[in-house]
């Protein structure tokens, strides 16, 4: 039944997946086993996205299915052990910019790829980034921005991280809208990416997972 659930989620059959979960709960299957199947399915979804078979609708529906499944299990969730994560990524849309679709996709992909992601949201000031670096201690930082104003605020954010003495300990990637290699140089980031796949690839390279 677990395999069936993995396939139903991975193949975007929402109703079937939810029916299966209800049946599994009713027949006494451990929530851990159901969540493991859901995680396995999410990894397949992520894989298919990276291969170019899936796009945003599939990521969004997968996220939606996961939320509904954990909702069905909620009372049992306390017993679930935390999974081991590869490393930490701090992410946010820089000050002045409130666009979040791209950032959310990157967060989702990093999460299903096994990273511990802290998403600070949109319009995040440089002091907020600095503070979060101190408390969360990420290896990788992702700065997102859609508008041309973000070029300057990305630069300011990276300068603030540098001024706080935290630049050497982290790798910084930027992305979104009009970000190019010229902007990477301008902002002083380590790399830029055109899509969520590049964010996962970069985080893997930097954190040293395969």
Partner 1 sequence: MENKLSPDEKREALWQGQLSPKDPAGNDLQFQSPEAKKAYRERILRIKDAIEMRRLPDRVPVTVFPSMFPWINAGMTVQEAMYDYGKAAAAFKQFVLDFEPDVHWGAAQVGPGKLFETLDYKLYSWPGHGVAPEHCFQCNEGEYMKADEYDALIQDPSGFFSHVYLPRVFGALGGLPMLPFLPGIQEIYGVAFNFIPFGLPPVQATFQALFEAGAEALKWAGAIGGVNGELATLGFPTLIAGFSKAPFDVIGDTLRGTKGIMLDMYRQPDKLLEAMEALVPLMIKLGVSSVQVTGNPLVFVPLHKGADGFISDEQFKKFYWPTLKQVLLGLIEGGCIPLPAAEGGYSTRLEVVQDLPRGKTVWMIDLTDMARVKETLGRNACLLGNVPSALLNVGTPQDVRGFAKRLIETVGKDGGFILSNGSFFDEAKPENVRAMVETAKEFGAYA
Binding residues for partner 1, rule: CB under 8 A, are 12, 14, 53-57, 60-61, 64, 96-99, 101, 147-149, 151-152, 177-180, 182-183, 185-186, 194-195
**Neighbour-count burial of 8, counting CB atoms closer than 10 A to its CB (0-12 exposed, 13-18 middle, 19+ buried):** buried
- Measured from the CB atom, the residue of 180 and 209 that comes closer to partner 1 is 180
- Measured from the CB atom, the residue of 67 and 209 that comes closer to partner 1 is 67
- Measured from the CB atom, the residue of 93 and 139 that comes closer to partner 1 is 93
Instruction: Give the ranges where 51-173 is alpha helix by DSSP (H).
Output: 56-73, 101-112, 126-136, 149-163
- Measured from the CB atom, the residue of 21 and 207 that comes closer to partner 1 is 21
- Measured from the CB atom, the residue of 38 and 62 that comes closer to partner 1 is 62
**Measured from the CB of residue 163, what is the shortest distance to partner 1 in angstroms?**
21
**Neighbour-count burial of 36, counting CB atoms closer than 10 A to its CB (0-12 exposed, 13-18 middle, 19+ buried):** middle
**Measured from the CB of residue 110, what is the shortest distance to partner 1 in angstroms?**
17
Cα(55)–Cα(77) distance, integer angstroms: 29
Asked if residues 122 and 99 have their Cβ atoms less than 8 Å apart, the reply is yes
Helix (H) or strand (E) holding 116: strand 116-119
Instruction: Quote the distance between the C-alpha of residue 204 and its chain's center.
Output: 13
**Measured from the CB of residue 55, what is the shortest distance to partner 1 in angstroms?**
5
**Measured from the CB of residue 48, what is the shortest distance to partner 1 in angstroms?**
11
Asked if residues 82 and 32 have their Cβ atoms less than 8 Å apart, the reply is no
**Measured from the CB of residue 102, what is the shortest distance to partner 1 in angstroms?**
9
């Amino acid at each position: 039944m677990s395999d069936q659930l993995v396939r139903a989620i991975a193949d975007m059959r929402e109703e079937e997946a939810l029916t299966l979960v209800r049946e599994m709960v009713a027949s006494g299957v451990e929530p851990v086993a159901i969540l493991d199947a859901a995680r396995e399915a999410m990894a397949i979804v992520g894989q298919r996205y990276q291969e170019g078979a899936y796009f945003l609708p599939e990521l969004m529906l997968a996220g939606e299915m996961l939320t509904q499944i954990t909702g069905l299990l909620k009372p049992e969730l306390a017993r679930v052990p935390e999974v081991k994560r590869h490393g930490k990524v701090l992410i946010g849309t820089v000050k002045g910019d409130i666009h979040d679709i791209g950032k959310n996709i990157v967060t989702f992909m990093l999460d299903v790829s096994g990273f511990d992601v802290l998403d600070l949201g949109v319009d995040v000031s440089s002091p907020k980034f600095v503070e979060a670096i101190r408390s969360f201690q990420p290896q990788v930082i992702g700065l997102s921005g859609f508008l041309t104003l973000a070029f300057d605020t990305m630069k300011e954010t990276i300068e603030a991280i540098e001024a706080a003495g935290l630049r050497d300990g982290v790798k910084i990637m930027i992305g979104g809208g009009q970000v190019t290699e010229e902007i990477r140089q301008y902002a002083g980031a380590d790399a830029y990416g055109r899509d969520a796949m590049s964010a996962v690839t970069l985080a893997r390279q930097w954190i040293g997972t395969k």
